């Protein structure tokens, strides 16, 4: 394993994080929050100094697949460990484990919070919290790949480890060109949302924070009521952009740079759209006709659409306390949590393409029992899904549910209800944010014990990095020199 290279990449991460923290300094200056300002400056200075010390470029800049996974996992851990410091130093989240939970929730675009009163937090910290969504959404290493001089296929090994989806591929021959295309699309859509929300007369600070939360499919709100107090127009804008950020970015690449027709033929995007529509219709019908919560159909549709968009893209904003909804609707939301957004988007979860492939495999296996001699292949977008990809999807699913089960088991020790524990893990492992019952949109994660918080923190990182990079850290032979 190339330890020197891991150190080098980490130094880049630190320096970049220092740079990104400067945005909070600007916010602190604007809001004259002079008590938190020096704390942020301290962290920035620390980042830059440490980054500078470690920045010696190694001679061998090759990163093979194994080190790629480890580099990415460690980079995210370092980034989170440092990113939590401002909260502790400013005293807004005095406990380090809580602060770590909060920032990991930010970087992994989860949006679960342990803050009881969000509105009491300084603007600088609120901004840093939301900005971390935007940073984590597309991936930090993908960003660094645009500048970092690494050799050959090494970049691909980093990108593959960080980007969500069963089969990560490039748009164009070079990784750094691919990364810059991804970031151009990301930046363009972010600016688009900012513009729309400003036109809809949302205050600019809210606009920035909400947009970052949407773009990264994160979900930190800056009000205790999340998005409930925004106007219907603003809510619709957020809904549409949430769903847009959950679409596979190769859709946009095809749409903008290649063949728009092929873009709309992508099976994953079609399935994603279908799932969203069906869920919205089912939930609307139930909450409008079977409950007394809504008097206007428009309100019901808006809330249903917002919630479905928010949950399937794993954003986690809320406009209403969906904990009050009947259990059929709630269960749809839980299923959407596990399903997640498209591969290659900023969203989390298992990803629509994995579910599609799994269902197709199931169909194939069933038919195989009926016609034992039949020969079939699993196809996606008119192409055979390679055996290795199928295998990795199967293994992913198995490991996913294993971690799910074990996490629920451990946090059950805290004595909360089953629904609370189950959805707490679902909400963190899938990077959503709020769950149901005790961790529903109206509550938060602060009641859990420190150990449970660490478990949930691990789940968030595992969910964001698609499990394997985090699991590899626990394989002893990875650390042996050989």
Partner 1 sequence: MQIIIVGCGKVGSALAAKLSNEDHNVTVIDTNAERLNHLTDLYDVMGICGNGTDYQILERADIQNADILIAVTYSDEVNLLCCVLAKRASACRTIARVRNPIYSTGRDYIRRELGLAMTINPEHAAAREIVRLLRFPTAIGINSFSKGHIEMFRFRVPDHSPLIGQAIKDAKILQTDGLICIAERGDDIVIPDGNYVVQKNDKLSVILSPQNALKFISDVGLKTDAVRNTMIIGCGEMGYYLAKMLLNMGIKVKIIERSRERCEILAEHLHKAQIICGDGSDEDLLREEGLEEMDSLVACTGIDEENIILSLYAKNKIRQKVVTKMSRLEFNDVIRSLDLDSVINPKTITTETILQYVRAMANSYDSNVETLYKIMDDRVEALEFAIHRNSSITHVPFEDLHFKKNTLVAGIYRKNRLIIPDGQSYFVPGDSVIVVTTNTGFDEIGDILETKVRS
Name the residue nearer to partner 1 (CB basis): 169 or 231. 169
Name the residue nearer to partner 1 (CB basis): 173 or 476. 173
Q: How far is the CB of 170 from partner 1 (least distance, A)?
A: 5
Closest residue by Cα to residue 343 from 466, 254, 173, 187: 466
Q: How far is the CB of 272 from partner 1 (least distance, A)?
A: 23
Site string for partner 1, 4-43 (x = CB under 8 A): ----------------------------------------
Name the residue nearer to partner 1 (CB basis): 7 or 170. 170
Stretch that binds partner 1, among 33-41, 174-182, 222-230, 283-291 (CB under 8 A): 174-182
Name the residue nearer to partner 1 (CB basis): 65 or 95. 65
Report whether 71 belongs to an annotated binding site.
no
Closest residue by Cα to residue 410 from 429, 391, 393: 429
**Tokens 């809504």 belong to which residue?**
294
Q: Does 175 bind partner 1 (CB under 8 A)?
A: yes
Instruction: Count the residues of the shown chain that bind partner 1, applying the rule CB under 8 A.
Output: 16
Q: How far is the CB of 247 from partner 1 (least distance, A)?
A: 21
Q: How far is the CB of 12 from partner 1 (least distance, A)?
A: 18
What token pair was written down for 401?
Answer: 């549910």
- Which residues, 6 or more positions from 369, have their beta carbon under 8 angstroms from its beta carbon? none
Q: Does 147 bind partner 1 (CB under 8 A)?
A: no
Instruction: Measure the CA–CA gap between 280 and 335, rounded to whole angstroms.
Output: 13
Binder among 75, 156, 202, 342 for partner 1 (CB under 8 A):
156
Binder among 7, 23, 55, 65 for partner 1 (CB under 8 A):
65
Binder among 155, 307, 318, 457 for partner 1 (CB under 8 A):
155
Site string for partner 1, 248-277 (x = CB under 8 A): ----------x-------------------
* Distance in Å from the first CA to the final CA of the chain: 8
CA distances from 228 to 91, 99, 193, 223, 237 (A): 28, 26, 18, 9, 13
Name the residue nearer to partner 1 (CB basis): 258 or 270. 258
* 375: exposed, middle or buried (Cβ count in 10 Å: 0-12, 13-18, 19+): exposed
**Considering only residues 380-409, where is the footprint of partner 1 by CB under 8 A?**
386
Report whether 218 belongs to an annotated binding site.
yes
Instruction: Measure the CA–CA gap between 403 and 151, rounded to whole angstroms.
Output: 35
Stretch that binds partner 1, among 73-81, 89-97, 109-117, 165-173 (CB under 8 A): 165-173
Note whether 217 and 348 are within 8 A (CB).
yes
Closest residue by Cα to residue 293 from 325, 327, 332: 325
Hey, is 215 helix, strand or coil? helix
* 371: exposed, middle or buried (Cβ count in 10 Å: 0-12, 13-18, 19+): exposed
Report whether 314 belongs to an annotated binding site.
yes
Name the residue nearer to partner 1 (CB basis): 64 or 328. 64
Q: Return the half-sphere exposure (C-beta side, CA atoms, 13 A cut-off) of residue 344.
A: 23
Report whether 315 belongs to an annotated binding site.
yes
Handedness of CA 278, 279, 284, 286 (dihedral sign): positive
Give the angle subtended at the CA of 199 by the CAs of 220 and 255, to the nearest 5°. Answer: 75
Handedness of CA 314, 319, 321, 324 (dihedral sign): negative
Report whether 340 belongs to an annotated binding site.
no
Handedness of CA 63, 66, 68, 72 (dihedral sign): negative
Binder among 52, 64, 331, 479 for partner 1 (CB under 8 A):
64
Segment 439-442 long-range contacts (CB within 8 Å, at least 24 positions apart): 439/112, 440/321, 440/322, 440/323, 441/226, 441/318, 441/320, 441/321, 441/322, 441/323, 442/321, 442/323
Q: Return the half-sphere exposure (C-beta side, CA atoms, 13 A cut-off) of residue 29.
A: 7
CA distances from 377 to 271, 367, 373 (A): 20, 11, 13
- Give the CA-trace dihedral at 429, 433, 436, 439, to 10 degrees: 100
Name the residue nearer to partner 1 (CB basis): 101 or 253. 253
Closest residue by Cα to residue 468 from 418, 413, 409, 395: 395
Binder among 7, 66, 170, 364 for partner 1 (CB under 8 A):
170
Q: Does 152 bind partner 1 (CB under 8 A)?
A: yes
Binder among 56, 177, 417, 449 for partner 1 (CB under 8 A):
177
Stretch that binds partner 1, among 150-158, 239-247, 279-287, 307-315 (CB under 8 A): 150-158
Stretch that binds partner 1, among 52-60, 169-177, 195-203, 457-465 (CB under 8 A): 169-177
Q: How far is the CB of 258 from partner 1 (least distance, A)?
A: 8
Q: How far is the CB of 154 from partner 1 (least distance, A)?
A: 8
Name the residue nearer to partner 1 (CB basis): 177 or 449. 177
Name the residue nearer to partner 1 (CB basis): 259 or 270. 259
Binding-site residue positions for K(+):
109-110, 218, 314-315, 431
Binding-site residues, in ranges, read: 109-110, 218, 314-315, 431
| Chain residues in the site for partner 1 (CB under 8 A) | 64-65, 152-153, 155-157, 169-170, 172-175, 177, 258, 386
């Amino acid at each position: 394993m190339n330890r020197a290279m891991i150190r080098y990449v980490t130094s880049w991460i630190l320096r970049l994080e220092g740079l990104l923290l400067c945005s909070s300094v600007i916010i602190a200056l604007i809001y004259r929050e002079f008590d938190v300002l020096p704390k942020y400056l301290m962290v920035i200075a620390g980042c830059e100094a440490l980054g500078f010390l470690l920045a010696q470029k190694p001679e061998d800049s090759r990163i093979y697949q194994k080190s790629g996974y480890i580099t990415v996992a460690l980079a995210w851990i370092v980034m989170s460990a440092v990113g939590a410091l401002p909260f502790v130093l400013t005293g807004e989240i005095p406990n380090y484990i809580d602060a770590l939970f909060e920032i990991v929730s930010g970087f992994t675009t989860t949006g679960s919070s342990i803050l009881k009163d969000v509105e009491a937090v300084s603007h600088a910290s609120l901004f840093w919290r939301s900005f971390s969504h935007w940073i984590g959404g597309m991936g930090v290493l993908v960003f660094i790949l645009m500048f970092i001089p690494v050799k050959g296929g090494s970049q691909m090994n980093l990108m593959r480890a960080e980007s969500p989806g069963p089969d990560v591929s490039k748009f164009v021959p070079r990784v750094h060109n691919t990364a810059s295309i991804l970031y151009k699309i990301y930046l363009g859509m972010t600016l688009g949302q900012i513009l729309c929300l400003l036109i809809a007369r949302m205050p600019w600070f809210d606009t920035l924070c909400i947009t970052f939360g949407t773009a990264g499919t994160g979900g930190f709100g800056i009000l205790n009521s999340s998005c409930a107090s925004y106007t219907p127009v603003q809510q619709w804008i957020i809904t549409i952009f949430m769903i847009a950020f959950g679409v596979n970015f190769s859709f946009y690449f095809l749409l903008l740079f290649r063949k728009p027709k092929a873009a709309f033929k992508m099976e994953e995007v079609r399935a994603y759209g279908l799932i969203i529509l069906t869920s919205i219709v089912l939930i609307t019908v139930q909450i409008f006709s079977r409950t007394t919560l809504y008097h206007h159909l428009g309100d019901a549709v808006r809330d249903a659409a917002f919630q479905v968009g928010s949950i399937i893209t794993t954003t986690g904003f809320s406009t209403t306390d969906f904990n009050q909804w009947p259990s059929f609707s709630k269960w749809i939301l839980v299923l959407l949590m596990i399903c997640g957004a498209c591969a290659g988007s900023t969203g989390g979860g298992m990803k629509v393409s994995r579910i599609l492939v799994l269902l197709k495999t199931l169909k194939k296996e069933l038919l195989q029992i009926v016609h034992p001699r039949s020969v079939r292949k699993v196809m996606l977008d008119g192409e055979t899904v390679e055996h290795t990809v199928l295998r990795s999807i199967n293994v992913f699913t198995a490991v996913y549910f294993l971690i799910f089960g074990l996490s629920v088991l451990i946090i059950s020790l805290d004595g909360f209800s089953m629904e609370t524990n189950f959805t707490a893990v679902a909400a963190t492992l899938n990077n959503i944010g709020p769950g149901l019952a005790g961790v529903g949109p109206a509550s938060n994660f602060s009641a859990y014990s420190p150990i449970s918080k660490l478990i949930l923190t691990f789940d968030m990182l595992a969910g964001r990095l698609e499990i394997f990079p985090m699991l590899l850290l626990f394989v002893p032979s990875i650390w042996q020199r050989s």
